[in-house]
Amino acid sequence: MDALPSSPLGWVCTGVTVLFGVTMLCMAKRSLAEKVNLLLWSLLPPLLGLLCVDMLGAAGGLGVFCTLSLVSCVYLGGRALLPVGDKAVLITGSDTGIGHALAKYLDKLGFVVFAGVLDKDGPGAEELRRTCSRRLSLLQMDITNTTQVKEAYLQVSEKVQNTGLWGVVNNAGILGFPADGELLPMSTYRRCMEVNFFGAVEVSKTFLPLLRKSRGRLVNVSSMAGGIPLPRYAAYGASKAALSMFSGVMRQELSKWGIKVAAIHPSGFRTGIQGTSELWDKQEKELVENLPADTRQDYGEDYLLGLKTCLLHMPTYCAADLSPVLSAILHALLAKRPHGLYTPGKGAYLTLCIFCYFPLWFYDFFMSKMLSTDSVPRALRTSEAESKKP
């Protein structure tokens, strides 16, 4: 290793090492939040390269170093974030859950946050007033109400003026009552589409003129159920799948304006989207009352009553820490090269890969084992019992 600088190839390796190190340090200086991560990745190629020089000679070491440097540059280029500055972001559904946590998170980072809430006088809005800075503005914004969406646009455009709006995060959404697709009333399908899809589309279309001014970001919070079929989520999954497809099309169409679009597909997180017990009772009553007599007979009262168990146990299977989702949204808002799709949370990426790259029968088998339940419709129990009779 002492003879390394005496050869021309050794000097090239040393020069590239210095240049690469300076570049990584500059990147770390511009992105303080990623400083430690960047520095570690910047040290790895030179160290491994020098080790290979000692073992393989200057030529082999330089080859390994250049390869590792290329990989590091690609990785770090994707991690590099733009400065927050005075960037303004609109978030829908900030009363609770992801939207509420995101409003606090972005406000703490220095963003100018416009938090759209369903109830401006509700507990969620009041907590944002109490805990966030004066930069945060609350907007009364039912995304299914065209008048409120237009009023919110006027308020935001008045404040940002010629600067434009840097980001729109379509987060507002509803779950509906988890049940077999045959059992769900049409009102549940329509309501999920109205909020989860049509509401997000209207907000996007309304605020796009402000995003064009800043060449900013459109971020749509979809769901794992929007990328893969999940039993008992026909209405919710269909609406989120529509939102994900909308995101993909808009990503292609808006690129000519310099606007980047991303879809977020979180796995299970504890957000309160399932609602309250009073809401469950109302939805369950609506479901049962709209069932034809023969369908109710085939499924059985015990099966129908057991559907509420899914809602009761849902929080126990969901992660309480929302930081993976918040980090994904932040990257979508600030990364120089944001991803088109983010899958934060355990299992989100794995199940998507199984659905996309494995035979459908394997995916169905996998999900049946993952989501196995002892609840069986009455008619199937009866037919199974009769088949076992001698």
- pLDDT given at position 37: 57
- pLDDT tens by residue, 65-75: 556 555 555 44
Give me the pLDDT at residue 377, please: 82
| Spatial separation of the C-alpha atoms in residues 8 and 144, rounded to whole Å | 68
In the residue annotation, 189 being an active-site residue is answered as no
The strand pair at 217-221 and 88-91 is best described as unpaired
Q: Rounded to an integer, what distance in angstroms lies between the CA atom of residue 91 and that of residue 181? A: 31
Low-confidence residues in the chain, pLDDT < 50: 1-4, 27-34, 74-76
Which pLDDT score is estimated for 304? 78
Q: 261 has which bridge partners?
A: 218
Q: Quick one: 316 exposed, middle or buried, by C-beta within 10 A (0-12, 13-18, 19+)?
A: exposed
With a CB cutoff of 8 Å and minimum separation 6, the contacts of 119 are 95, 125, 140
Q: Which fold does the domain 88-370 belong to in CATH?
A: Rossmann fold (3.40.50)
CA distance 70 to 72: 5
The string of pLDDT tens digits covering residues 4-58 is 455 565 556 556 655 655 555 554 444 444 455 555 555 666 666 666 666 655 5
Q: Which of these is catalytic: 153, 233, 236, 299?
A: 236
**Beta-sheet strand order (sheet of 217-221):** 137-140, 112-117, 88-91, 167-170, 217-221, 260-264, 341-342
**Distance (Å, rounded) from C-alpha 275 to C-alpha 321?**
19
The domain ranges of the chain are 4-79, 88-370
pLDDT at res. 135? 95
In this prediction, residue 234 carries a pLDDT of 95
Q: Judge whether 204 and 218 are in contact, CB under 8 Å.
A: yes
Q: What is the pTM of this model?
A: 0.78
Strand partners, 168: 90, 218
